[in-house]
């Protein structure tokens, strides 16, 4: 029905020397890393949280955590992948805290904002906004796997590691997400 082009994990060429300067305490170098990556981190947080305010908070917290943990970053890895992992951990931590406070009632669904860095190739007349809304209405586990694997292009092994689930669970959740999304979008286009 439709295809979503995966967002490249390394959409921006990253400069190991820039990261090293930031690791050495150069605030300006870290500010540049922030500017180069903030839109993708926010888009990821937005897709996972479905709430503008929470996504903004998670994005900020992810960069604060990245600054604090920069000394542990291994420069042989992609900086954006490391940063995405931090952002996912922040979102999951927020969910656990929220669930503890709301005793499982969940968080309200907010209107999905335009995602800054996604590319869409549509074979139907379905609007990107409707797809974003449909993704936002998926159950959390299925949505998380779809966003990380189907949109951002992480492997099942990487997604399973980020979410703390088995690789088989990751594959099952992705299959479930795609099926639910397909049904929802077919229903949308037939009405």
Burial degree of 23 (CB within 10 A; 0-12, 13-18, 19+): middle
Q: Residue 143 above 70 pLDDT?
A: yes
**pLDDT per residue as tens digits for the range 155-183:** 999 999 889 899 999 999 999 999 998 88
Res 36: pLDDT: 95
Q: What is the pLDDT of residue 110?
A: 31
State the pLDDT at residue 191: 61
- Altogether, the residues listed in the chain come to a count of 191
- pTM for the full model? 0.65
Domains of the chain, first to last: 2-190 (1.10.1740.10)
Describe the crossing of helices 27-49 and 128-136 by its angle, rounded to 10 degrees. Answer: 80
Q: What is the pLDDT of residue 98?
A: 74
Could you give the CA distance from residue 80 to residue 37 in angstroms, rounded to a whole number? 7
Q: What is the pLDDT of residue 184?
A: 84
CA distance 156 to 76: 21
**Three-class SS of the chain:** CEEEECCCCCCCCCCHHHHHHHHCCCHHHHHHHHHHHHHHHHHHHHHHHCCHHHHHHHHHHHHHHHHHHHHHCCCCCCHHHHHHHHHHHHHHHHHHHHHHHHCCCCCCCCCCCCCCCCEEEECCCCCHHHHHHHHHCCCHHHHHHHHHHHHCCCCHHHHHHHHCCCHHHHHHHHHHHHHHHHHHHHHHHHC
Percent of the chain with pLDDT over 90: 46
pLDDT at position 119: 40
How many C-beta atoms surround the C-beta of residue 67 within 10 A? 14
Query: How confident is the model over 70-76, as a mean pLDDT?
Result: 88
Asked if 142 and 172 count as a contact pair (C-beta separation under 8 A), the reply is no
Q: pLDDT-derived band of residue 7, with 50, 70 and 90 as boundaries?
A: very low
4: phi then psi, degrees, rounded to nearest 5: -110, 125
Determine contact, residues 47/148, Cβ cutoff 8 Å.
Answer: no
Which conformational region is residue 175 in: left (phi greater than 0), alpha (psi within -120 to 50 degrees), or beta?
Answer: alpha
**Number of C-beta neighbours around residue 52 at 10 A:** 15
pLDDT tens-digit series, residues 13-66: 678 999 999 999 999 999 999 999 999 999 999 999 989 999 999 999 999 999
């Amino acid at each position: 029905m439709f295809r979503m082009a995966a967002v490249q994990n390394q959409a921006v060429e990253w400069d190991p020397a820039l990261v090293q300067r930031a690791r050495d305490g150069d605030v300006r170098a870290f500010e540049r890393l922030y500017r180069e990556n903030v839109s993708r981190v926010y888009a990821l947080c937005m897709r996972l949280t479905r709430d503008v305010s929470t996504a903004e908070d998670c994005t900020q917290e992810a960069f604060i955590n990245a600054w604090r943990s920069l000394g542990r970053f291994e420069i042989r890895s992609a900086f954006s992948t490391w940063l995405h992992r931090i952002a996912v951990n922040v979102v999951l931590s927020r969910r656990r805290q929220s669930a503890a406070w709301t005793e499982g009632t969940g968080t309200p669904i907010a209107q999905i904002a335009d995602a800054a860095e996604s590319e869409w190739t549509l074979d139907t007349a379905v609007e990107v906004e409707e797809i974003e809304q449909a993704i936002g209405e998926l159950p959390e586990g299925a949505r998380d796997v779809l966003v990380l694997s189907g949109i951002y292009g992480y492997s099942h092994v990487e997604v399973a590691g980020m979410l703390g689930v088995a690789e088989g669970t990751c594959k099952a959740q992705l299959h479930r997400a795609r099926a639910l999304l397909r049904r929802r979008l077919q229903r949308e286009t037939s009405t």
